[in-house]
Amino acid sequence: MARPASGAGHVEAAKQLLRAAKTPGELRQAQAVLLPLELGLSLQQTADAIGRSPGATCTMRTRFMAVREGKRPAARRKSDLRNRAKASLQQEARVLDEVMAGADQEPVLAIPQLKPLIEQRLGRTMALSSVYRMLARHGWRKLAPDTPHPKGDPQAREDREKSARACWSKSKPDLNARRH
């Protein structure tokens, strides 16, 4: 005979979570607590009902109760801070606005020299590739002349290159850009 489900003192909190769940994970966690206590389902039956393994279901139940009892901190929402992000999108935008002020007028802007300023304002170290991805995420693009076409006029190209220098400019941010 299986042992009875624990957590009877957390039924009301699980019902509140069930009503206010915003993600599938929150809904499953509430169901993992309520189904054994309210309907008398076994761990296997509960796992089948919520579509998880018995081990994952047991983990959901114990994590829910540990958070409610204050033994464990609540999990962060991914919407609050991106996965392993150094800062929120709003903080990144604010720092880049401060650091890149006047970048449109600069003929040459070296990002490796701006990296320490960005790190200082964020209070964390960053890889140079992360700085470049941050710039792209917030709409900063490096504008430079394209490579020459083999059949093109070299004199006309040279005249264009004299008037068009490589610079950084801000365009509309692409917050859904794929990471490579």
Domains of the chain are 8-68 (1.10.10.10), 89-170 (no CATH)
**Res. 74 pLDDT band, cuts 50 70 90:** confident
d(CA 35, CA 47): 10
Cα angle value 66/70/75 (rounded, 5°) = 65
Contact 174, 136 (CB under 8 A): yes
Least confident of 35-44, 102-111, 117-126: 102-111
Query: pLDDT exceeding 90 applies to what percent of the chain?
Result: 21
Averaged pLDDT, 94-118: 81
Residue with tokens 């959901």: 60
d(CA 163, CA 28): 61
Write the pLDDT tens digit of every residue in 45-66: 999 999 999 999 999 999 998 9
Query: pLDDT exceeding 70 applies to what percent of the chain?
Result: 77
**Res. 35 pLDDT band, cuts 50 70 90:** very high
CA atoms within 13 A on the CB side of 108: 3
**How far is it between the farthest Cα atoms of the chain?**
89
Contact 139, 171 (CB under 8 A): yes
